[in-house]
A and B are shown apart, each in its own frame.
Chain A
Amino acid sequence: MERLHKMDKMPKWADVVLIPVISLILAASLSALVIVAIGEDPVEAVNLMVTGALGSTYGWGYTLYYATNFMFTGLAVAVAFHARMFNIGGEGQAMLGGLGVAMVCLYVPWPHWSLALLGACAGAMIFGAAWAAIPAYLQAKRGSHIVITTIMFNFIAAAVLNYMLVNVMRPQGSMDPASARFPEAVHLPTLHELLTPIGISFSKAAPANVTLLVAILACFVVWALIWRTKLGYEIRAYGHSETGALYAGISPVKITMIAMIISGALAGLMATNNVMGEAERLVLNSTEGAGFIGIAVALMGRSHPFGVFLAAILFGFLYQGGAELALWTSIPRELIVVIQALVILFTGALDNMVRMPLEKIFLAMRKGKA
């Protein structure tokens, strides 16, 4: 965020590449210590994770499926970061996005999946954006802290979803708090179905689907928006200095609203992958914490869409690898939650701990040259 004045102390590549890499190494070493402490072999664990997540098209299919979720939520957090806002509500916005997707898929008779996907994207974005717009409005107009309101909205979203699934959308006679199955016509093609016609064999069982392409497209759109449009310039200007932006005639209310609406829409879009692409019905807790992983992904990716893309794939790998670990060793899946916490800690909260010694080294090197 407030990195402008620090740039002259360090070359840009150190800021963009070196610091995240060092943070990642720190997080990985601590995770290795945790694995040793519970009596497992970290090298063996990494081997299992790599073969499990990247060693087969089945593994890749899951890795990319998770990565798709994290690209959407990571972009959501990143866009808000550019306007110096911390959107912790990606989880709730993605839940509401799921509600939008389910309504579009269940109540509209779609002739073809491609049209249904467009409709579902619209539904997901509208619901997610609306859920972010209320906290944004309260921040812009009433000064309530966006972090607290978005946390509260996560819980309210869970209650709304619970109510809708138990009392409204549950098919008659079903005990399960879940919506009916979506019709066959809205089934999204998986990577298996997309790649087989062009002669590439891909695992049939893996859930990665066409929404991966939507997520990659979203990365490009966000990049273009932030760095190639007037609006993006205004968002970044506002993020760097609110008073500066004010003098430049940029309305804080407008930027707060627009940035959060974009952010919420991106978080909502995640539902096209997990609800429409994978489960093909809306269930409780369909988001599985992906909204929060978006925070780690955005921090790791330095809020740049390309960084978010890479970090999302890294976390997709960790998720699938972690599932494999839980299957073959006594290491529970929660190891991934610990790694995620460490990544957030080192790339976010303890950023200065990594940065300050590095800056000193670079300053010393510069003095040595001069």
Chain B
Amino acid sequence: MDFLTIIQVLDSTVRLATPLLLACLAGLYSERAGIFDIGLEGKMLMAAFFSAAVAAVSGSVWLGLLAGIGSSLVLSGLHGLASITFRGNQLISGVAINFLAAGMTVLIAQDWFKQGGRTPSLFAGGRFEPIEFPFAEAVSGVPILGPVYSELLSGHSILVYIAFLAVPGTWWVLYRTRFGLRLRAVGENPAAVDTAGVSVVGLRYAAVAICGVLCGIAGAYLATALQAGFVKDMTAGRGFIALAALIFAKWRPWQAMWACLLFGLLQAVALRFQNIDLGGVVIPVQVMDALPYILTVVILAGFVGKAIPPRAGGEPYVKER
């Protein structure tokens, strides 16, 4: 395998890791505040559709992004209503949101565009274009560092850079701000937060809203940057891989980035090589497909360090128990 191939695989790793990373950080905010979210998939899917639909109609990808975030926030609000206000089962609510998105996107797409549940293909202006770093063309001839700079680091859409900047951002918010401290506390011991006079309900809604915004960006990235338009079920389980990455990272931001890059690499390798021949032993492509899930099960089982979720996760908070 030559150097350029490696760079190309790593380049598509970054592209494929981006939606995972955004959704993973989304889940991190929600779950750190004690609200389990298995509806990441649905929120991404809804955002993917609305961003592509609005971008196709208006011709502006930024309006598309806003529409995507808005639609994802509506589902977040529903999840909050069910799991915070009405203290329902958060897992069941997540399942419902996934189905709601899977059904509604196709229903609306068919009604609006009549193209079999997809949006029209997006052209210039309707998509996020790659950003070329300065001198990317000029230095591409330099050995090793040239291709790394011009192929791997430069030439992604702005959402990719936003996603990776969100990692230190999330770390800072969680560990260096008052809001972050309270957010983490509400996921571990909501009664203590309540006693301190801070609204548990308010904090949890805030966390769920941040989750909605990030899922919205993730969905918009899928439909307007990674691909040019929405197709039915285009998230293809990415919300669940993000969930797996979140557990893999034990609910911490930097580790989440590495986990998403690892799972992105697996996708990139599976996409490029199909079956991998390792000197006689052939690794079938299905192993690469299943590996993120298998790794997560192994981590969850505590065979490689224990993954302990936030203590109050999944429990509705009742005042004055």
Contact = CB atoms under 8 A, between A and B. Distances in A.
Interface in B90-120: 90-93, 95-100, 102-104, 106-108, 110-111, 114, 117
Interface in B271-321: 284, 286-287, 289-290, 293-294, 296-297, 300-302, 307, 309
Contacts of A148: 243, 247, 296, 300
A125 interface: no
Interface of A, helix, strand, loop or mixed by DSSP:
helix
A125 B100 CA distance: 31
Contact of A341 (B91, B99, B110, B237): B99
Interface string A92-117: 00000000000000000000000000
Interface stretch (A42-50, A66-74, A155-163, A270-278): A155-163
B135 interface: no
Given A38-B111, A148-B243, A337 B91 contact: no
Contacts of B81: 350
Given A349-B83, A353-B86, A147 B96 contact: no
Contacts of B102: 334, 337, 341
Please tell me the size bucket of the interface on B.
35 or more
Interface in A337-353: 337-342, 344-345, 348-353
Contacts of A145: 300, 309
Nearest to A352: B86
B256 interface: no
Contacts of B286: 159-160, 162-163, 166
A279 B243 CA distance: 34
Nearest to A165: B286
Given A163-B284, A332-B117, A344-B95, A155 B103 contact: no
B38 A147 contact: yes
A142 B302 contact: yes
B24 to A, nearest CB: 14
A152 interface: yes
Contacts of B107: 34, 38, 331-332, 334-335, 338
Which bucket holds chain A's interface residue count?
A: 35 or more
B210 to A, nearest CB: 21
B106 A332 contact: yes
A261 B263 CA distance: 31
B240 interface: yes
A330 interface: yes
B244 A152 contact: yes
Contact of B96 (A143, A153, A349, A352): A349
A39 B111 contact: yes
Contacts of B289: 155, 159, 162
Given A159-B290, A349-B83, A152 B92 contact: no
A225 interface: no
B88 interface: yes
Pick the most buried of A138, A159, A349: most chain B CB atoms within 10 A of its CB: A349
Interface of B: 38, 78, 81-83, 86-93, 95-100, 102-104, 106-108, 110-111, 114, 117, 237, 240, 243-244, 247, 284, 286-287, 289-290, 293-294, 296-297, 300-302, 307, 309
Please name the 5 residue pairs, one residue from A and one from B, whose CB atoms are nearest each other, closest first.
Answer: A337-B103, A349-B93, A341-B99, A338-B103, A159-B290
18 contacts: A37-B111, A38-B110, A147-B91, A151-B243, A155-B237, A155-B240, A155-B293, A159-B289, A166-B286, A167-B284, A331-B107, A332-B107, A335-B107, A337-B102, A338-B99, A338-B100, A338-B107, A341-B96
